[in-house]
Amino acid sequence: YDQLAAITAPQCPTTSARPGSQYVPTASDLDAALAAGHIIPFYQPKLSVSTRAITGVEVLARWRHPDHGLVGPDYFIPLAEKEGLIERLTDQIIDQSLVQGRIWLDQGRPLKLALNLSALSLRHLDLPEDLLRRVEGRGLSPEQIVLEITESALASDFSASLDILTRLRMRRFALSIDDFGTGYSSLKQLQHGPFTELKIDQSFIAKALEEEGSLAIVESSVQLGRRMGLKVVAEGIETEQQMDLIRHLGCDEAQGYLLGRPVAANDFPR
Ligand code: C2E
Ligand code: CA
Ligand code: CA
Ligand code: CA
């Protein structure tokens, strides 16, 4: 449902996909789309809770499909992972967003770029060096990059991922633990992982004002993150009430439809 809400956002003038559209892409469709450059980054702002200044953007993959409109990542990321296309996809998204990041920087907007990494990427020993080379090759520095990694991505082989994470951190990339609270070994991962940011999952934010249990999870996640010296980000902020709540609880940054939907670079707010 999130997906459909995102792809039918009125701020996305290119959207033609409708909720309920039955497009099920195949591996060869996706392969062709990658070759044609139809997989592109969208950008959603991350804002400071206290000032509402835009501090960064999360890069979210979209498939600009000639027949099916704008297709969201839930329809093709799992396919890409299964069919061995995720590396190419990730490379393309990263390259395009680094180019855009450099354009913003040249315009005097040093926006941090938050990139989503697949669990599979965390198994590549050369990821840290590779990424550093690309980032510097585009005239950016690793301090400007936040790597968002979901708890479930870490769960599959935590000790191997931990090694990669440590090397990424040594190269000064910021590391965010995404969808916090939805994995099963969050506390261990948080304690031992070299994270710099904790991103509270939107499912808890969505229910926090109606349900005591979700509120308790949001509140204790914020406290935990702060005690561990992490930047705490709330995602899925859709109302001013939710914004008030996370400000009151002490979140540093916020992201959500209230503050800005994912859009193409050209439509990004000035
Ligand atoms: P995520 O990293 O947890 O991203 C947040 C999702 O929530 C995005 O969905 C975003 O559009 C949506 N969202 C943002 N604000 C709101 C809000 O206020 N309300 C609601 N209901 N939803 C909101 P999206 O773009 O469909 O992405 C879905 C997932 O696909 C992402 O979840 C991420 O795990 C994955 N993904 C996206 N791009 C990439 C990519 O380039 N590489 C990889 N490996 N995964 C990606
Ligand atoms: Ca994310
Ligand atoms: Ca998330
Ligand atoms: Ca998610």
CA pseudo-torsion sign 256, 76, 37, 92? positive
pLDDT tens, position by position, 136-172: 999 999 999 999 998 888 877 888 889 999 999 999 9
* pLDDT, tens only, 26-52: 999 999 999 999 999 999 999 999 999
In angstroms, rounded to a whole number, what is the distance separating the alpha carbons of residues 227 and 248? 16
Which string of b and e fits 213-239 if b means at least 16 CB within 10 Å? Answer: ebbebbbebbebbbeeebbbbbbbbee
SS (H, E, C) 137-156: HCCCCHHHEEEEEEHHHHHC
Grouping H, G, I as helix, E, B as strand and the rest as coil, residue 179 is: strand
Question: Residue 44 is encoded by which pair of tokens?
Answer: 């959603």
Model pLDDT for residues 179-228, shown as the tens digit of each residue: 998 876 668 888 889 999 999 999 999 999 999 999 999 999 999 999 99
Is the CB–ligand 1 distance for residue 202 below 6 Å?
yes
Ligand 1, closest atom to CA 117? 44
Tell whether ligand 1 has an atom less than 6 A from the beta carbon of residue 5.
yes
d(CA 270, CA 267): 9
Listed in order, strand segments (DSSP E) in 72-191 are 112-116, 145-150, 174-180
CB–CB of 174/197 below 8 Å? Answer: yes
Q: What pLDDT does 160 receive? A: 87
Q: At what angle do helices 240-249 and 212-227 cross, to 10 degrees?
A: 40
- Can you tell me whether residue 9 is helix, strand or coil? coil
In this structure, which residue's CA is closest to atom 46 in ligand 1? 116
With the most atoms of ligand 1 within 8 angstroms of its CB, the residue from 2, 89, 131 to mutate is: 2
Give pLDDT, residue 185: 65
Residue 186's pLDDT is what? 67
By the 10 Å C-beta count (0-12 exposed, 13-18 middle, 19+ buried), 240 is classed as exposed
- The string of pLDDT tens digits covering residues 76-89 is 999 999 999 999 99
| Ligand 1 contact via 118 beta carbon (within 6 Å) | yes
Distance (Å, whole) CA 261 – CA 42: 9
Q: How far is the CA of 107 from the centre of ligand 4 (A)?
A: 31
Q: What is the pLDDT of residue 21?
A: 59
Q: Give pairs for 131-135: CB < 8 Å, separation 24+.
A: 131/94, 131/168, 131/171, 131/173, 132/171, 132/173, 134/94, 134/95, 134/98, 135/98
CA atoms of 259 and 172, how far apart (whole Å): 28
Report the candidate in 190, 182, 108, 100 with the shortest Cα–Cα distance to residue 145. 100
Give me the percent of the chain exceeding a pLDDT of 70: 91
Tell me the C-alpha distance between 91 and 81, whole Å. Answer: 13
pLDDT at 6 over 70: no
Asked whether this complex has an ipTM greater than 0.95, the answer is yes
Cβ atoms of residues 73 and 80 within 8 Å: no
Ligand 1, residue 238: give the atom nearest the CA: 18
Ligand 2: centre distance to CA 149 (Å): 7
Average pLDDT, the chain: 91
- Which ligand is closest in space to the CA of residue 3? 1
